[in-house]
Amino acid sequence: METKGTRIGVVVRVRPLLSKELKANSLNNRIDINLAEKSITILSDQKQQKRFEFDEVFDEKTTQEHLYQKLKLDNLIKKVIEGYNATIFAYGPTGSGKTYTMEGYEHDKSMKPIIRDDGRLGLIPRIVKNLFDEIKKAPSHIEYTVYCTYVQIYKENIYDLLNPAQIKPPGLRLRWNQQEEFYVENLFMHPCYSANEVISHYNSGLKNRIISSHNANTSSSRSHSLLSLNIEAMDSETGSILTSKLQLVDLAGSEKVSQTGNEGAALKESIEINKALFTLRQVISTLASMRDGEASFVPYRDSKLTSLLKQSIGGNSYCLMIACIAPLDSFFEDNLSTLTYATKALCISNEPIRNIDPKTRVIKELRKEVKRLNSELLLA
Ligand code: ADP
Ligand code: MG
């Protein structure tokens, strides 16, 4: 997705009815999609309707390949290779297609991913493959290393899905670095030199995500997962180093707590899980209502998730939000809420900056100074 200026790109994907839903004759008459206008109208009853417009709208016929192409993710990958940070996150209620969109795998009984290259692959495996294809095209004096990390946030605990010793409470701590960014302390960072290496770490992380969810006695759709591809480009000719980060985020289901019918411990769990999403919505609302140049308190620090997404939403990254909804009456309230926040996100501006290693910057400035002094000498 090419963001207009530096605004967050916001698209909506409506998933198809599943065969069991078709059999159950689930109603499907409350969403009206207009692809040409990039709009969705939600019909609340025969008379009332609410219309939303986005950067792009994808209907139930959209294939994974079409989605990837239409979002122009190859352009985003090029930006990341040039040293910009980028984030793609999927938002929406449980069962709306977030994991299908991001991951697209099916799993066998032992939760091993079944990877069929039959067009069902989601954005993550496609992005990983194309990132390395792009890296291969770079000049030979630039050496790339992709460090991959994969974390899960569940009830405000952060687990390292690439480190089996760190997939149970209390999890890892958040720290604050000099670039004014939050990071996860002691996180495993695996250097990878091919798409297959990343995918193999990602797959073991997916298995750990399931084990971790079993440990916590919950479903993985109740946790947030963040796969991060940290790219380091060393230029042997100039000695410069560029670093950038591509974050691929599959959020927990954003459904309303009241609708899950939970009580007691389960209700407490829902509230804690929703703390991150509640804060995310607050962050989105605050940023969306801020006028140009206005300073306002944005509650990033109120949850681990929003702390980690600080630079992605209202920060220095490119960002794409994929709002997922399902064409079922039971999703009606959650679809409305999802589209409402997606609309707010359309008003958020980021200021992407190219990450140059501070040492590289100094070297560049010194070189400039030497050039200037040389020309002064020649003139004298
Ligand atoms: P979420 O991650 O939002 O909870 P899932 O991605 O698990 O939802 O999707 C719920 C179900 O719908 C899964 O069985 C998934 O395979 C199916 N599904 C979701 N999106 C699509 C799609 N675009 N095409 C076909 N099946 C889909
Ligand atoms: Mg999911």
What domains can be seen in the chain, in order of their start residue?
Answer: 6-356 (3.40.850.10)
Q: What is the mean pLDDT of the chain?
A: 88
Please name every residue paired with 175 in a beta bridge, in sequence order, or none if there are none: 183
- CA 80 → CA 134, 178, 195, 230, distances in Å? 10, 21, 16, 9
Give the pLDDT of residue 326.
94
For the record, the structure tokens of 251 come out as 């959020």
Q: Do the Cβ atoms of 319 and 285 come closer than 8 Å?
A: no
For ligand 1, whether the C-beta of 122 sits within 6 Å is no
Residues 6+ apart with CB under 8 A from 140: none
Q: At what angle do helices 332-345 and 264-289 cross, to 10 degrees?
A: 30
pLDDT tens column, 279-294: 999 999 999 998 766 7
Distance, CA 325 to ligand 1 centroid (Å)? 10
How far apart are the C-alpha atoms of 159 and 254, rounded to whole Å?
20
Of 89, 100, 114, 250, the residue with max ligand 1 atoms within 8 A of its CB, to mutate for a pocket test, comes to 100
Looking at ligand 1, which atom is closest to the CA of residue 106?
16
Question: What's the 218 CA to ligand 1 centre distance in angstroms?
Answer: 19
327 Cβ below 6 A of ligand 1: no
**DSSP single-letter state for residue 291:** P
Pick the range with the lowest mean pLDDT from 17-21, 22-26, 70-74, 325-329.
22-26
CA of 317 to the centre of ligand 1 (A): 28
Please tell me the distance from the alpha carbon of residue 80 to that of residue 23, in angstroms, as a whole number: 44
Place of tokens 């949850």: 303
Please enumerate, by residue number, every residue annotated as part of a binding site. 92-99
Per-residue pLDDT reduced to its tens digit, 188-199 = 999 999 999 999
Residue nearest to ligand 1 atom 16, measured at CA: 100
Integer Cα distance of 76 and 319 in angstroms:
9
- Residue 182: alpha-carbon gap to chain centroid: 16
Task: Among the bound ligands, name the one nearest to the CA of residue 326.
Answer: 1
Query: What is the Cα–Cα distance from 123 to 195, expressed in whole angstroms?
Result: 13
CA of 210, nearest ligand number: 2
Residue 97 CB–ligand 1 contact under 6 Å: yes
Residue 229 pLDDT > 90 = yes
Q: Which amino acid is at 201?
A: H
- For the entire predicted model, the pTM comes to 0.90
